[in-house]
Structure 1
Amino acid sequence: MDNEGWRESGSRSWPDADWRSARETSSSADLADEGLITGAFDEERSFGGRAAPVSLGHVELRDTRGPHEVWAHAAGRDLSITQLTPEPCRGHLLRASLGDMGFDSGAFDGDLRVRGVMSRKAFSLVSVMEQEGVLNQWGHRVEEGDIVAIPPGGELDGRFQGHVAYAVVTAPWGLVMQRAEAFEWLADPCFWTEPAVYSPPPEARAACKRVLQGCAGMLRAMSGGVPSGAVAFLRNELLDGLLTALAEVKVEGARRQGALNAARIVRGAEDFLESGGARQAVQIEDICVALNISRRTLYRAFHDLLDISPKAYLRLKNMSAARARLLDAGRHPTTVTQVALDQGFWELGRFSGAYRAMFGESPSETLRGAQGAAHGR
């Protein structure tokens, strides 16, 4: 894997591990000197004074304790995340609001099944910045530098295994189409109507990665509020960087949603479980009958896509749902007992032990952390 662009010390594309020192030691003037900020960022006025910046953007920087913080808690997202391996899924996150556009950049280590709506009203472009392990969307293999394009209401649906660094740009449909007009066939609305994975050529991947890292570096350096001129610059830079890479992709090379049988079967099983209410009471035979497939076919699909059995996946899905509920206790008060029972765990001692083995802390520790964070706001 080529990480030279990510590690190169002579650029402002800081490694993610160094974002704290970058924020403390860098300034917008430094970034301007290196050509990352154009005249649109200039706040000087003819009277010689410096006008107070108008903050239209906001930046959040933090370490994360698990995947639910990275993906599911962003505004407008409705994601179900199931952790597939018993170890803490640690990472770090940059999240920026740029007017009506959003930008996420971060990394995490783990093995996750992620499915759900990225945004119901906006378009999402997900770029895989670094990848060590197996990534797939709708059963299709995703490589470093690939771009997942998801229209409003479309689903992210796949597995993230190992170390993953990512960037996500979320923008209104109108803004995407406006910027796409400069890129020939990307201006065709038909290009954007269904989710797909695109694989730009190597040069385009590298150029896109440099743009995304440069913008992430700017935002880390600014922290807190983002001046209006920087908001305008970053919006254009991020979208144009991704669209330039997409413009180099051959249309016939796109991997569309729902093409592989294993992914369809797993999706169908998940849909049946969600519609069935009490998931612990559902038997494997019930799923097979609902999908009109054999038990062997069901097991093969889960092993091909997720490397576990349907029964094991159901237990992990309920455990991850319990964690998501506890993490949200600051907004919706609850108890460990109530959460465990709601997810079908009747033996509370066993639930607590399995939860600690899976997430690296007890359910009560998760609950106290969520309540403490809410009181500290």
Structure 2
Amino acid sequence: MDNDSDKDPRPRSWANSGWRRAAAIGPGEGDPSQDGLVAGTLDEQRSFGAPAGTVSLGHVLARDTHGPHEVWAHAAGRDLSVTQLTPQPCRGHLLRANLGDMGFDAGAFDGDLRVRGVMAQKAFSLVSVMEQEGVLNQWGHRIEEGDIVAIPPDRELDGRFQGRLAYAVVTAPWGLVMQRAEAFEWLADPSFWTEPAIYSPPPEARAACKRVLQGCASLLRVLAGGAPSSTVAFLRDELLDGVLTALAAVRAEGGRRQGVLNAARIVRGAEDFLESGGARQAVQIEDLCLALNISRRTLYRAFHDLLDISPKAYLRLKSMSAARARLLDAGDRPTTVTQAALDQGFWELGRFSGAYRAMFGESPSETLRAAQGRQP
């Protein structure tokens, strides 16, 4: 930032500027180009090591993440089920800020994940795909870089995230969204916001939105723990207006995609049946087909189209990921490796431990010790 920035606590808008992070802050002054997270970067240059905790108004949590559950599931009001689909490390970065009744997440990770669940119980979630190398889908619809996913309160994120991904999420309550939307013509209609949808803004709007999200992420990194109220107010307006401006530019045919496609509907139905029926390991394929009133061939085709995996293999991975999530939560809810495995239907503990290590790159006991070590 230049020398005049100390005199004016309200930063300038990034929406239509040629903002560049390296020019904004010099080395030794919290240079965001060294953070390995801001501007949607996917590299891993720095370990923050800060334990997760409550984030106060204007404060920021910024750290490396060691698995998909940390990136997606651990936030107030968020209830997500994360299943890792391929045996590879899923490392990344996370920035999370509380801006009063608004929230902002920016992150990056590399993996292959099935993610489903409520993003925010009492707020809208506006998810922007900042950078993408791989295949993403939401409700069965293909997502491209620059797309925005709008999810109303208490509605579900439901998709697959495969490859290298950088993302940003703006969460805001209904009243605030409608207040700011009044300036954007057709966005002011409340019916616009009643159903989840994917939006594909034109290239110029995508680029402008990305600049806003990148700029706000960089500023939050620099001001972590000490953002003045005027800067917090600026960030709230800038983030929400930046995303709404991009949404307002969606006019072309096909720019808005809604509804759950057939393959996604079948996978959702299978998951719902599993959650209502107890241990996944005991469920047979015939049970799923009967419950969904579909043929075995249709069931297999849906899973392969959406997740590139058979239903039986997915059940096993979903159980293993659920066991990992339970172990990662051991700092708050004490458990044992044996209990976590048995709760998910793994009766042969030796085989469970070997499969777990092959999938996640560490043993169940190592996951448990790390989680216990993060206790306050």
Please tell me the TM-score bracket, short chain as reference: 0.7 to 0.9
Q: 1:225, CA displacement in angstroms?
A: 3.3
> After the TM superposition, which segments of 4 or more aligned residues of structure 1 sit over 4 Å from their partners?
none
Look up the match of 2:75. Answer: 74
C-alpha change, 1:25 and 1:293, in structure 2 (3 Å) is closer
Look up the match of 1:12. Answer: 21
Look up the match of 2:224. Answer: 223
The whole-number CA distance in structure 2 between the counterparts of 1:134 and 1:59 is 30
Deviations 1:306-357 (A, max 9, x none): 0000000000000000010000000000000000011111111111111111
Q: How does 1:142-291 map to 2 (within 5 A)?
A: 142-250=143-251, 253=254, 254-258=256-260, 260-291=261-292
Contact 2:112 2:161 in 1 (8 A): yes
Scaled by the length of structure 1, the TM-score of the pair is: 0.86
Look up the match of 2:317. Answer: 316
The whole-number CA distance in structure 1 between the counterparts of 2:218 and 2:169 is 15
Q: How does 1:345-360 map to 2 (within 5 A)?
A: 345-360=346-361
Q: 1:10, CA displacement in angstroms?
A: 7.0
Amino acid at match of 1:297: T
Q: 1:222, CA displacement in angstroms?
A: 1.1
C-alpha change, 1:170 and 1:13, in structure 2 (3 Å) is farther
The whole-number CA distance in structure 2 between the counterparts of 1:217 and 1:23 is 12
Amino acid at match of 1:288: C
Q: 1:22, CA displacement in angstroms?
A: 7.7
Partner secondary structure for residue 333 of structure 2? coil
Look up the match of 1:34. Answer: none
Scaled by the length of structure 2, the TM-score of the pair is: 0.86
Deviations 1:213-272 (A, max 9, x none): 0000001111223211111000000000000000000275311131x1101100100110
Look up the match of 1:337. Answer: 338
Give the root-mean-square deviation of aligned CA atoms.
Answer: 2.0
Contact 2:58 2:224 in 1 (8 A): no
The whole-number CA distance in structure 2 between the counterparts of 1:105 and 1:295 is 40
Partner secondary structure for residue 331 of structure 1? coil
Could you say which structure has the higher helix fraction? 1
Look up the match of 1:36. Answer: none
C-alpha change, 1:23 and 1:111, in structure 2 (3 Å) is farther
Aligned residues: 336
C-alpha change, 1:77 and 1:10, in structure 2 (3 Å) is closer
Amino acid at match of 1:296: R
The whole-number CA distance in structure 1 between the counterparts of 2:259 and 2:130 is 21
C-alpha change, 1:345 and 1:162, in structure 2 (3 Å) is same
The whole-number CA distance in structure 1 between the counterparts of 2:220 and 2:234 is 12
C-alpha change, 1:67 and 1:211, in structure 2 (3 Å) is same
C-alpha change, 1:13 and 1:256, in structure 2 (3 Å) is farther
Look up the match of 1:296. Answer: 297
C-alpha change, 1:23 and 1:355, in structure 2 (3 Å) is farther
Look up the match of 1:141. Answer: 142
C-alpha change, 1:169 and 1:13, in structure 2 (3 Å) is farther
Residue 113, structure 1, aligned to residue 114, structure 2: yes
Q: 1:23, CA displacement in angstroms?
A: 6.6
Q: 1:279, CA displacement in angstroms?
A: 1.6
Look up the match of 1:132. Answer: 133
Contact 1:120 1:152 in 2 (8 A): yes
In structure 1, stretches of 5+ residues that fail to align are 27-54
Deviations 1:165-187 (A, max 9, x none): 00000001100000000000100
C-alpha change, 1:13 and 1:293, in structure 2 (3 Å) is farther
Partner secondary structure for residue 227 of structure 2? strand
The whole-number CA distance in structure 2 between the counterparts of 1:10 and 1:136 is 30
Q: 1:105, CA displacement in angstroms?
A: 0.2
Q: 1:304, CA displacement in angstroms?
A: 0.3
C-alpha change, 1:23 and 1:317, in structure 2 (3 Å) is farther
In structure 2, stretches of 5+ residues that fail to align are 1-13, 33-55
Deviations 1:61-84 (A, max 9, x none): 000000100110111000000000
Higher relative contact order, structure no. (Cα contacts within 8 Å, ≥ 6 residues apart) = 1
Look up the match of 2:30. Answer: 24
Partner secondary structure for residue 58 of structure 2? strand
Amino acid at match of 1:63: D
Contact 1:13 1:217 in 2 (8 A): no
Deviations 1:184-223 (A, max 9, x none): 0100000000000000000000000000000000011112
The whole-number CA distance in structure 2 between the counterparts of 1:61 and 1:10 is 22
Partner secondary structure for residue 324 of structure 1? helix
The whole-number CA distance in structure 2 between the counterparts of 1:284 and 1:104 is 38
The whole-number CA distance in structure 1 between the counterparts of 2:195 and 2:29 is 38
Q: 1:56, CA displacement in angstroms?
A: 3.0
The whole-number CA distance in structure 1 between the counterparts of 2:330 and 2:118 is 22
